């Protein structure tokens, strides 16, 4: 996946979008695992914070049958279950993991204030490290988010790299 940061313009500033290659009007699509309680709760909160409709959310299982060529190609490559992904269909850019988190923050109200820092290589590297740590400790993260009953996340449980586990396999693996 690409490692460049997707950016959105500051309110009223369309010149930044053109320079960054982003589309000023189209939403970024967040591809997430709907079988993961942490992912679902994060999406619920992001929907609440996204007052300007800059984010669209797509469960990863729908990507393959979405009728959108870029998403179908990503699903065919088989890496969607590994991390959260953010897709800018207008430019064809895709970022994942910590870079996706930075793109999401940038799209939220006030997120453009973080853009200068997010463009620095140490910030992007730090975001990837933080993302990997958060994924590794997602059960604790879920508890901190107030999720007491639904803390399992199937990321990393797939039988083969990039394969999507069957729903019954996920249910059997959850404790």
User: For the residues of 62-101, what is the DSSP string, one character each?
Assistant: HHTTSS-HHHHHHHHHT-GGGS-EEEETTTTEEEETHHHH
pLDDT class for 88, splitting at 50, 70, 90? Answer: very high
pLDDT class for 97, splitting at 50, 70, 90? Answer: very high
pLDDT beyond 90 at 159: no
Contact indicator for 72, 20 with CB cutoff of 8 Å: no
pLDDT class for 80, splitting at 50, 70, 90? Answer: confident
What is the pLDDT, as a whole number, of residue 28? 95
3-state secondary structure of 121: helix
Q: Which residue has the higher pLDDT, 111 or 159?
A: 111
Q: Which residue has the higher pLDDT, 13 or 141?
A: 141
In whole angstroms, give the CA distance from residue 40 to residue 50: 15
pLDDT beyond 80 at 31: yes
Q: What are the residue ranges of helices labelled H in 32-175?
A: 37-49, 60-63, 69-77, 98-107, 115-118, 121-136, 138-144, 167-173
Compute the mean pLDDT over every residue in the chain, rounded to the nearest whole number.
74
Backbone φ and ψ of 11, nearest 5° = -50, 125
This prediction's pTM = 0.70
Cα-Cα end-to-end distance for the chain: 32
């Amino acid at each position: 996946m690409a490692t460049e940061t997707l950016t959105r313009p500051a309110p009223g500033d369309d010149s930044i979008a053109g320079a960054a290659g982003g589309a000023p009007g189209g939403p970024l699509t967040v591809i997430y695992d709907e079988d993961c309680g942490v992912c679902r709760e994060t999406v619920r909160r992001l929907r609440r914070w996204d007052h300007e409709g800059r984010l669209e959310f797509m469960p990863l299982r729908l990507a393959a049958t979405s009728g959108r060529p870029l998403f179908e190609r990503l699903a065919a490559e088989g890496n969607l279950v590994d991390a959260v992904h953010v897709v800018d269909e207008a430019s064809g850019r895709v970022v994942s993991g910590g870079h996706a988190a930075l793109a999401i923050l940038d799209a939220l109200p006030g997120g453009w204030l973080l853009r200068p820092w997010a463009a620095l290589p140490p910030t992007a590297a730090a975001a990837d490290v933080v993302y990997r740590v958060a994924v590794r400790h997602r059960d604790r993260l879920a508890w901190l988010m107030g999720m007491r009953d639904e803390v399992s996340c199937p990321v990393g449980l797939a039988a083969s790299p990039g394969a999507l586990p069957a729903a019954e396999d996920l249910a059997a693996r959850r404790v």
